[in-house]
């Protein structure tokens, strides 16, 4: 269906090609998953199929891409519109009209299909994607999962033979992601659509793929194979594969179901041991060398890293993720200590006083109770994961804690102060929030200017922020424009800026959105270290693997109410939607992460 | 098909035309035909128990009901037996029975025309009340429907500004009732006729109030149309050649709220950097990120539109293409020349014909240009009986007010010198109430049952 012949793409202003030597054929009716670390050219490869690369983005394409016999060099994206449907990560950037039904019809209108054909296909698509109840609704009022389904539906109505999806579930909660993936599954099975999809969150998608296409490093030739084959060599892999590699299972299991069937002996081996409690594992200040010693160095053996999926990079010139992380952490510690020294602040971890208390908090917005009677106490050194579906009130709670929202009822106190009555200048020394879009925090043209501004804002000694940046983000020059940073780097910069005010309470909203496993592992290390330093940390996240990895405590919100609150292992193990993969595989024993299992077996 | 052929035939035969009277007479076979009428079933409740119909007859029965259900209430909702009062109600709005947006605009323009013909505050208040009632009864909870309050506020602001100007600049209305006297700024001779400060009279203030109220009513009528008719759908009714312009406007309209949301979000996020969220500096600092975000989003939408076939063109033979160009360009030139001719003293004789020919040529060019576009339209809005009624009610209000303006001008323009209490003229007021018709004939918005 899709043929790549010696394809390479070079963008203007770049010397080296972004992708090269792509030589492969994707047969009809397959769901092909495109995997690889950030920045290896996944989006570029996807763009060549729809013709947006190079017709829309610019750059030079060498070689030839044909889709169902049509050459993308001679066919513009609009002339491929009846053949290729493209859906991106942000559905809102995809919509042209304002109601669901119009959106579904838009593509067909452009192609000039007859009205009765359009009508029939819209009805069919509404049923296929379960959107019939939403047909007249304005798109802006839909939830994320619904929007993504509408986006997929809108490219399905012209009956394309190929569907290209760039991280379709990244921004969705687990349930909404399931919704979208089951639709894709159905398309492949019932309609024979060829699907080419890139996704970071492999734990969600790998079991649905017929084939996997691995881009191991920038400008390296891609490798096409069955998911199990690719997973055996892939530098990025979900926890289930990491566990499979650790246990030496062959072929590697890709789904929890496969893994569970083979895990009998592993469960037996682990039965005699108990996992280190999450908090113990995290407070344990492992020296960097201890971690590296876990790596198997024998050639041919896959190397293992962080538990929330692994990452190892065979490419030369790219630094190993773990080393800079470890190095960064020691520097971070130095930076924090330095600040402690200059400010003579006693280590907060010693105190058992609550950093923040939320009492019977209620927030109402436009007749909707966003939060209802939420009571919560956050203590120093504790990492709390705030989970729940989109719209459950996670962000509202975080915003109330930083005073961006005034409580309707109840009280919020952070270090004895009421956030929404505290002037911003003083508040940043009590509580810091890294928003969902870290870019929102960045105004300046360069990293250095951003740091200087942060120091001035927080009245911290000059250089404080820059030290933090160096610790969190080694090797970023001062004159880099924040826009040119990758998602993970931008997050680290925003985190450094927020930490400049030394807030004892640190809040992060959806920090792993758009991060690959490497960036995620680094973030986990950094947060764990901050918690050990005595920060109280609250993460609002959909990422169950991250929560399992670093959170001591999980609070689940639903419809603005707290429905579960307790130690991670207790809350998460029994839950079908919030349990991490390892926990699902090894249930009923309370194992949460591959790291725990590895340490127990060692 | 069932053995009993009669009921379905009857049922389909008198679908829309069935007079309500026949529906009320309970004969043995009255069930199927009445069930099929969109107004509903007879009130006689005892019938089904001794209904001699064989069970097979229930199939056509259902079918007929299904056909009727399209214009009826929300599809799929069972409505076994409705009281008489309920069947007079209009159906819930769906895509199929949605009123043509043009009808709402004509209705609103009708009310606005009526408002422009009078300064009688009682009539104006009545017009506002009529528009407000229809909006309250028929608007949905879609984002564009929320603009009504904004227009009402704008109207009030207009009245306030008009009054402030009157206080500050005085008014030409002679009056004897002085409310207060402001110090008058001396102005040079050449600025005669302009006054700053001075006497403020009750008559002048009243006149300004009437005048401002008229303008506010106009604005509120426009706001009503905006809240009731989806502006995007109105643009969809544009002719094919103007389609691309329409899309640009629609995309821009969806962008504006996004940008407003961006500004609001970035302003609150400034708090996280320990900076004040208000003030000019805040706006300046977030200006660039907001514009950057808007630019990025527009590039993303452009890519999406491109990948979805926006701007696909049909192959048009060169001859047609050239003719299009000649017609459009020639036509526009003709329009220019004709307009010049009309305005200039010499060419008045040729002006009109040249203008008309030019216009015709340009329109033909546009029409021919439409051939290049391969687009079709999905479920265009239909102009039905309800649309005629709505547009007609607006036109009737306007016509009645214009007529009243010639018949009883005094009642429409209550005097301010000497001060008199305005009276409500009976006939224009009753005519204004015609504008309420849309609240009773248009499909009702769904109650927000599954919206949250």
Which pLDDT value is given to residue A443?
82
| pLDDT over threshold 80, residue B166 | yes
Structure tokens at B101: 């947006």
Which of B250, B266, B309 has the CB atom closest to A97's CB atom? B250
Which pLDDT value is given to residue B290?
84
Q: What is the CA radius of gyration of chain A?
A: 24
Our CA-based measurement puts residue A55 at a distance from the nearest CA of chain B, in whole angstroms, of 10
Treating both helix axes as pointing N-terminal to C-terminal, what angle do A464-472 and A447-458 enclose, rounded to 10 degrees?
Answer: 130
End position of a domain, from candidates A213, A234, A255? A234
Which pLDDT value is given to residue B134?
93
Which pLDDT value is given to residue A366?
73
Which pLDDT value is given to residue A165?
92
Pairing of strands A2-10, A60-67: antiparallel
Structure tokens at A423: 């002037």
| pLDDT over threshold 60, residue B55 | no
Asked whether residue A304 is domain-assigned, the answer is no
Between B193 and B151, name the one with better pLDDT: B151
Structure tokens at A298: 């024998």
Give the total residue count for chain A.
602
Asked whether residue A561 is domain-assigned, the answer is yes
User: What domain count does chain A have?
Assistant: 2
Residue B61 and residue B31 in contact, taking contact as beta carbons nearer than 8 Å: yes
| pLDDT over threshold 70, residue A335 | no
Own/partner long-range contacts of A363-367 (Cβ < 8 Å, ≥24 apart): A363/A393, A363/A396, A363/A400, A363/A405, A363/A407, A363/A408, A363/A560, A364/A408, A365/A396
* Residue A191 and residue A327 in one domain: no
What is the C-alpha separation between B78 and B65, in angstroms, rounded?
10
Mean pLDDT within A232-252:
89
Which pLDDT value is given to residue A587?
79
Interface test with A, best of B236, B378, B443, B449 (most A CBs within 10 A): B378
Instruction: Decide if B234 touches A, using CB distance below 8 A.
Output: no
Q: Write out the DSSP string of B339-385.
A: HHHHHSSTTHHHHHHHHHHHHHHHHHHHHHHGGGB----SSPPP--H
Query: Would the ipTM clear 0.90, i.e. be above it?
Result: no
pLDDT band at residue B297, thresholds of 50, 70 and 90?
A: confident
| pLDDT over threshold 90, residue A577 | no
Instruction: Decide if B312 touches A, using CB distance below 8 A.
Output: yes
Cα separation values, B448 from B69, B75, B141, B235, Å: 20, 16, 8, 26
Which pLDDT value is given to residue B398?
93
Cα separation values, A469 from A328, A383, A466, B339, Å: 9, 22, 5, 67
Could you tell me which of A215, A195, A229, A210 has the C-alpha nearest to residue A87?
A195
Between B451 and B314, name the one with better pLDDT: B314
Interface test with B, best of A101, A112, A154 (most B CBs within 10 A): A112
| pLDDT over threshold 50, residue B57 | no
Pairing of strands A2-10, A162-166: unpaired
pLDDT digits (tens, 9 = 90+) for B326-347: 888 898 898 888 888 777 766 6
Which pLDDT value is given to residue A338?
42
Mean pLDDT within B53-60:
42
Which of B257, B272, B450 has the CB atom closest to A498's CB atom? B272
Mean pLDDT within A38-66:
88
| pLDDT over threshold 70, residue A157 | yes
Cα separation values, A59 from A51, A52, A66, A563, B164, Å: 12, 11, 18, 51, 60
What is the C-alpha separation between A357 and A264, in angstroms, rounded?
44
End position of a domain, from candidates A234, A267, A297? A234
A25-39, B305-319, B405-419 — which one is most confidently predicted on average? A25-39
Contacts of B276 in chain A (CB under 8 A): 424
Mean pLDDT within B255-283:
79
Contacts of B251 in chain A (CB under 8 A): 96
Which pLDDT value is given to residue B58?
41
What is the C-alpha separation between B216 and B136, in angstroms, rounded?
18
What is the C-alpha separation between B249 and B231, in angstroms, rounded?
10
Contacts of B257 in chain A (CB under 8 A): 140
Our CA-based measurement puts residue B332 at a distance from the nearest CA of chain A, in whole angstroms, of 28
A94-98, B51-55, B216-220 — which one is most confidently predicted on average? B216-220
Which of A120-129, A268-277, B301-310 has the lowest average pLDDT?
A268-277
Contacts of B378 in chain A (CB under 8 A): 101-102, 105, 108-109, 115, 118-119, 122
Which pLDDT value is given to residue B39?
39
Structure tokens at A291: 């971690």
**pTM across the whole model:** 0.73
Domain ranges, residue A468: 322-601
* Residue A229 and residue A331 in one domain: no
What is the C-alpha separation between B199 and A135, in angstroms, rounded?
61
* Residue A218 and residue A360 in one domain: no
* Residue A465 and residue A597 in one domain: yes
Which pLDDT value is given to residue A468?
85
Residue B189 and residue B156 in contact, taking contact as beta carbons nearer than 8 Å: no
User: What DSSP state is assigned to residue A534?
Assistant: T
* Residue A465 and residue A331 in one domain: yes
Which pLDDT value is given to residue B80?
53
End position of a domain, from candidates A181, A204, A234? A234
Mean pLDDT within A60-75:
91
Which of A281-285, A587-591, B446-450 has the lowest average pLDDT?
A281-285
Asked whether residue A301 is domain-assigned, the answer is no
In whole numbers, what is the pLDDT of chain A averaged over residues? 82
Torsion of CA B155, B158, B163, B165, to 10 degrees: 180
The count of other CB atoms within 10 Å of the CB of residue A305 is: 25
Which pLDDT value is given to residue B76?
46
Mean pLDDT within A113-135:
90
pLDDT band at residue B71, thresholds of 50, 70 and 90?
A: very low
* Residue A331 and residue A211 in one domain: no
Which pLDDT value is given to residue A26?
92
pLDDT digits (tens, 9 = 90+) for B109-128: 999 999 998 999 999 999 99
* Residue A327 and residue A184 in one domain: no
Q: Find the CATH number of the domain harbouring A66.
A: 3.40.50.300
* Residue A487 and residue A591 in one domain: yes
A6-10, B127-131, B233-237, B344-348 — which one is most confidently predicted on average? B127-131
Contact A52 B450 (CB under 8 A): no
3-class SS of residue A550:
helix
Between A133 and A284, name the one with better pLDDT: A133
Minimal-distance CA residue of chain A relative to B295 = A93
Asked whether residue A285 is domain-assigned, the answer is no
Mean pLDDT within A491-500:
89
* Residue A196 and residue A338 in one domain: no
Which of B302, B309, B314 has the CB atom closest to A107's CB atom? B309
pLDDT band at residue A319, thresholds of 50, 70 and 90?
A: very low
Q: Write out the DSSP string of A150-185.
A: HHHHHHHTT--SEEEEESTTTTS-HHHHHHHHHHHH
What is the C-alpha separation between A379 and B450, in angstroms, rounded?
40
* Sign of the Cα pseudo-torsion (A333, A336, A339, A341, in order): negative
A371-375, A386-390, B5-9, B59-63 — which one is most confidently predicted on average? A371-375
| pLDDT over threshold 60, residue A91 | yes
pLDDT digits (tens, 9 = 90+) for A378-413: 999 999 999 988 778 888 899 999 988 889 999 999
Which pLDDT value is given to residue A324?
47
pLDDT digits (tens, 9 = 90+) for A423-478: 888 888 889 999 888 888 888 888 888 899 888 888 888 888 888 888 887 778 88
Residue B90 and residue B108 in contact, taking contact as beta carbons nearer than 8 Å: no
Between A397 and A170, name the one with better pLDDT: A397
* Residue A524 and residue A410 in one domain: yes
What is the C-alpha separation between B428 and A101, in angstroms, rounded?
43
In whole numbers, what is the pLDDT of chain B averaged over residues? 76
Place of tokens 């962000």: A395
Structure tokens at B199: 């006497």
Share of chain A above pLDDT 90, in %: 25
Mean pLDDT within A471-497:
83
Contacts of B268 in chain A (CB under 8 A): 399, 404
């Amino acid at each position: 269906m899709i043929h790549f012949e010696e394809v390479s793409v070079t963008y203007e202003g770049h010397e080296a090609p972004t992708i090269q030597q792509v030589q492969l054929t994707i047969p009809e009716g397959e769901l092909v998953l495109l995997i690889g670390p950030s920045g290896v050219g996944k989006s570029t490869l996807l763009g060549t199929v729809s013709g947006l690369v190079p017709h829309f983005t610019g750059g030079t394409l060498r070689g030839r891409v044909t889709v169902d016999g049509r050459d993308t060099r001679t066919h513009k994206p609009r002339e491929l519109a009846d053949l290729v449907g493209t859906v991106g990560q942000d559905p809102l950037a995809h919509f042209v009209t304002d109601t669901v039904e119009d959106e579904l019809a838009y593509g067909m209108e452009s192609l000039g299909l007859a009205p009765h054909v359009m009508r029939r296909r819209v009805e069919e698509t509404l049923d296929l994607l379960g959107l019939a109840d939403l047909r007249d609704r304005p798109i802006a009022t839909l939830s994320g999962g619904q929007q993504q389904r509408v986006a997929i539906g809108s490219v399905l109505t012209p009956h394309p033979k190929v569907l290209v999806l760039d991280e379709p579930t990244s921004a969705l909660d687990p349930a909404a992601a399931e919704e979208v993936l089951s639709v894709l599954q159905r398309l492949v099975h019932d309609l024979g659509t060829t699907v080419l999809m890139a996704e970071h969150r492999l734990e969600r998608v790998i079991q649905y793929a017929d084939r996997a296409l691995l881009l191991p490093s920038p400008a390296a030739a891609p490798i096409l194979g069955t998911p199990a084959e690719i997973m055996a060599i892939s530098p990025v892999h979900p926890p289930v594969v990491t566990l499979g590699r650790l246990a030496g299972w062959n072929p590697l299991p890709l789904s929890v179901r496969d893994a569970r069937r083979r895990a009998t002996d592993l469960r037996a081996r682990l039965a005699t041991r108990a996992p280190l409690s999450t908090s113990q594992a995290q407070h344990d200040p492992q020296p960097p060398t201890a971690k590296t010693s876990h790596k198997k160095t024998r050639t041919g053996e896959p190397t293992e890293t962080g538990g929330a999926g692994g990452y190892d990079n065979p490419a030369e010139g790219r630094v190993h993720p773990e080393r800079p992380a470890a190095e960064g952490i020691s520097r971070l510690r130095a930076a924090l200590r330095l600040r402690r020294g200059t400010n003579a602040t006693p280590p907060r971890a010693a105190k058992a006083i609550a950093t923040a208390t939320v009492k019977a908090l209620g927030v109402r917005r436009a007749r909707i109770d966003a939060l209802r009677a939420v009571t919560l106490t956050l203590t120093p050194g504790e990492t709390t994961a705030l989970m729940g579906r989109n719209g459950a009130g996670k962000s509202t709670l975080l915003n109330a804690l930083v005073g961006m929202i005034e409580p309707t009822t109840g009280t919020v106190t952070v270090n004895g102060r009421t956030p929404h009555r505290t002037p911003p200048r003083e508040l940043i020394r009590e509580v810091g929030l890294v928003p969902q879009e870290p870019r929102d925090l960045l105004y300046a043209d360069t990293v250095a200017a951003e740091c200087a501004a942060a120091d001035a804002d927080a009245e911290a000694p000059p250089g404080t922020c820059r030290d933090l940046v160096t610790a969190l983000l080694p090797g970023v020059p001062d004159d880099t424009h924040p826009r040119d940073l990758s998602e993970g780097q931008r997050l680290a910069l925003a985190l450094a800026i927020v930490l400049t005010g030394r807030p004892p309470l640190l809040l992060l909203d959806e920090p792993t959105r758009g991060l690959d496993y490497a960036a995620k592992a680094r973030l986990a290390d950094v947060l764990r270290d901050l918690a050990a330093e005595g920060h109280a940390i609250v993460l609002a996240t959909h990422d169950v693997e991250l929560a399992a990895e670093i959170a001591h405590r999980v609070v689940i919100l639903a419809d603005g109410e707290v429905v579960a609150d307790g130690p991670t292992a207790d809350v998460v193990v029994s839950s079908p939607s919030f349990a991490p993969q390892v926990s699902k595989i090894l249930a009923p024993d309370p194992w949460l992460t591959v790291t725990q299992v590895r340490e127990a077996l060692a | 098909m069932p053995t009993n052929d009669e009921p379905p035939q009857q049922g389909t035969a008198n679908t829309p035309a069935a007079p309500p009277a026949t529906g009320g007479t309970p004969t043995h076979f009255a069930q199927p035909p009445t069930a099929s009428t969109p107004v509903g079933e007879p009130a006689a409740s005892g019938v089904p128990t001794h209904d001699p119909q064989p069970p097979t007859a229930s199939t056509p029965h259902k079918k007929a009901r299904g056909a009727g259900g399209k214009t009826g209430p929300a599809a799929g909702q069972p409505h076994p037996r409705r009281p008489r009062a309920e069947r007079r109600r209009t159906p819930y709005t769906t895509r199929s029975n949605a009123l043509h947006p043009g009808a709402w605009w004509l209705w609103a323009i009708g009310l606005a025309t009526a408002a422009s013909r009078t300064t009688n505050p009682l009539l104006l208040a009545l017009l506002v009340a009529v528009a407000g009632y229809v909006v309250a009864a028929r608007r949905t909870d879609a984002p564009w429907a929320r603009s009504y309050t904004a227009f009402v506020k704008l109207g009030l602001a207009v009245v306030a500004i008009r009054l402030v100007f009157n206080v500050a600049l005085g008014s030409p209305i002679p009056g004897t009732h002085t409310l207060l006297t402001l110090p008058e700024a001396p102005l040079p001779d050449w600025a005669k006729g302009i006054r700053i400060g001075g006497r403020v009279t009750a008559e002048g203030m009243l006149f300004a109030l009437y005048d401002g109220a008229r303008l506010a009513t106009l604005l509120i009528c426009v706001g009503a149309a905006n809240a009731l008719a989806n502006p995007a759908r109105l643009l969809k009714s544009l002719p094919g050649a103007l389609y691309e312009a329409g899309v640009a406007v629609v995309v821009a309209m969806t962008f504006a709220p996004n940008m407003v949301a961006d500004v609001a979000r970035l302003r609150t996020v400034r708090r996280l950097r320990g900076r004040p969220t208000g003030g000019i500096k805040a706006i300046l600092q977030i200006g660039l990120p907001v514009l950057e975000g808007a630019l990025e989003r527009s590039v993303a939408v452009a890519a999406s539109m491109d990948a979805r076939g926006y701007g696909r063109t049909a192959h048009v033979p060169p001859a047609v293409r050239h003719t299009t160009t000649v017609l459009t360009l020639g036509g526009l030139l003709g329009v220019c020349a004709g307009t010049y001719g009309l305005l200039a003293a010499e060419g008045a004789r040729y002006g009109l014909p040249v203008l008309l020919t030019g216009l015709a040529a340009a329109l033909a060019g546009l029409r021919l240009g439409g051939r290049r576009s391969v687009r079709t339209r999905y479920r265009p809005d239909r102009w039905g009986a309800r649309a005629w009624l709505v547009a007609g009610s607006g036109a009737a209000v306007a016509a009645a007010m214009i007529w009243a303006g010639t018949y009883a001008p005094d009642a429409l323009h209550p005097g301010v010198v000497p001060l008199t209490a305005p009276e409500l003229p009976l006939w224009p007021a009753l005519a204004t109430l015609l504008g309420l018709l849309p609240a009773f004939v248009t499909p009702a918005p769904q109650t927000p049952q599954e919206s949250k």
